[in-house]
A and B are shown apart, each in its own frame.
Chain A
Amino acid sequence: MNLILISLLTLGIVGAISAVILFFVAKKFHVYEDTRINDVEAALPAANCGGCGFPGCRGFANACVKAETFDGLFCPVGGNDTMQKVADILGRTAIVAAPTVAVVRCGGTCDHRPRMNDYDGVKHCFIAHNLYSGETGCSFGCLGLGDCEVSCEFDAIHVNPVTKLPEVDEDKCTSCGACVKACPKLLIELRKKGPKSRRIYVSCRNEDKGHIARKSCDVSCIACGKCEKVCPHEAITITNNLAFIHDDKCKLCRKCVEVCPTNAIVELNFPPRKVKEPLTPEGA
């Protein structure tokens, strides 16, 4: 009986003292934190992908609360909806950005780009890129070893085993930009998703002169300039022997797709064209 009493008493006293100490310590070391950070964080997608440029969603929430405006602050995963929610919490107006999606600017499938060497090292784009230009004659094209696939947190980009080119799953892509950073050949670009996901882009990064580029790959941009001339919106520029379509100017008229002699300009998600003239067959 005595024993039980003593133990109860000792433990009770220890507990009481600890509670008092804890109380004062908690007061003394209390860190003031804006409660809105928690609210903002709750509104974010919690993917912690780093696509916004901050370490995780909490970092982004912190930055949003501290910043005056939303300049340079955008959650690519959540998109406009999430940013609207964040804006509501903070009582500001959201900046509406056009949704973007990752596109791979290389069309050099195995058929279009004959392999000249066999790579027998670690299946890692960066390592292969440091070693040499690639298995094909094109030193700008995709290596097909899947660094982008590994980098993607959302399972949205996969290397097609047949073509050895990565393919983006539009529904899953959050345009966080991880693959853009992962690609040593700088092939992946975040482009405006476009109305009904319709996009036109130059699927090539080859900066060689036309005849060299053409020799190494059938669908390379040879910088012939036809697209630049035909474009009514001045959306296409050619620099370093490579055409580029600016997505803010492009009105998706598809004229450039028709004139491109090498099929390097790609259109996505358009309805089939009215038969005016037969398209050049694939791979021609």
Chain B
Amino acid sequence: MDKLIISPAPHIHSGDSVSKNMTGVIVALVPALLVGFYYFGLGSLIVTATAIISCIIFEYLIQRFMLKGENSVMDGSAALTGLLLAMNLPSNIPVWMVIIGSLVAIGIAKMSFGGLGNNPFNPALVGRVFLLISFPVAMTTWPKPVPFNPSYLDAVTAATPLEMIKGHFGEMPGLKDLFLGNMGGSLGEISALALLIGLVYLLVKKIISWHIPVSILVTVFIFSGIMHLANPEVYAAPLVHLFTGGLMLGAIFMATDYVTSPMNPRGMLIYGVGIGIITVVIRAFGAYPEGVSFAILIMNGFTPLINTYIKPKRFGEKIK
């Protein structure tokens, strides 16, 4: 080396990278994914693979032929979007719907805003909500979970516990089944245990901070607890709320999406509380039995506002 390099300080870097973070989240999703495979068999595998592959392909094509920018498809964010989208879908949904969902997620929600880092709404959720509104039947028909069944499940359908609560029918699975995941639902959302393992991994690896998931879960618990105390006949117990539907998946993986969540701990708490309240309101009073995706998308819309007005605790600021 004949010429010395000159650059401003700092001269070392942590070695952290976008792809490391994305891979970390994917690894954290593996337990929940395995539970999905375990209960829903081949169908879940097909949906997951389709979503991931089509997301990557769409991102590559858009970047290559429309944006003509530097290709960032290998940073893992497209694969993560695909995986998260798949986790939010029933395992017996037709493959072509998955592809449409991926196109909406990547094409509309992500790349049209300029790619990773610029999208205001969580791409996977936009994809899911698009499918939910366009194909409500396919999106709310769930196969009955059958452990260790490698075949494609579609014959038997089961209602999710939340639908049972809403419609006041069916026999609720026990709390243990809810916790472990033996219930109808999207392929990645059923097992609270597996998702919590993912949360621990994310926290240990410092990929996310605790603020968003904890504030969402605590808010849902308190809010649904108050309603349950007020009228136990109509409103389900708080633990049932916690372990059912997409709440765990949403709180741990969807709401914590870097790009669409607020940028400082105080803002994150407000955002989390907002998601928690909206979720319970939709679940209890709305037309849909489940409201996590809508709640997160609504709060995504508030994120810029939160970022503008809620600032981190400055050093030297008086504690009020």
Contact = CB atoms under 8 A, between A and B. Distances in A.
B151 interface: no
Contacts of A116: 3
A127 interface: yes
Contacts of A127: 8
B8 A118 contact: no
A93 to B, nearest CB: 52
A135 B6 contact: yes
Contacts of B7: 119-121, 131
A117 interface: yes
Contacts of A121: 6-8
11 contacts: A115-B3, A116-B3, A117-B3, A117-B6, A118-B6, A120-B5, A120-B7, A121-B7, A131-B6, A131-B8, A132-B6
Interface string A100-131: 00000000000000011111111000010001
B319 interface: no
Nearest to B6: A117
A131 B8 CA distance: 6
B230 to A, nearest CB: 43
A117 B6 CA distance: 7
Interface in B1-32: 3-8
Nearest to B9: A131
Contacts of B8: 121-122, 127, 131
A35 B252 CA distance: 62
Give the 6 A-B CB pairs with smallest separation, nearest first.
Answer: A120-B7, A121-B7, A117-B6, A120-B5, A118-B5, A121-B8
Interface in A126-149: 127, 131-132, 135
Contact of B3 (A118, A122, A131): A118
A145 to B, nearest CB: 13
A131 B7 CA distance: 8
Contacts of A118: 3-6
Given A115-B3, A120-B7, 16 more contacts: A116-B3, A117-B4, A117-B6, A118-B4, A118-B5, A118-B6, A119-B5, A119-B6, A120-B5, A121-B6, A121-B8, A122-B8, A127-B8, A131-B6, A131-B7, A135-B6
A132 B7 CA distance: 9
Nearest to B3: A118
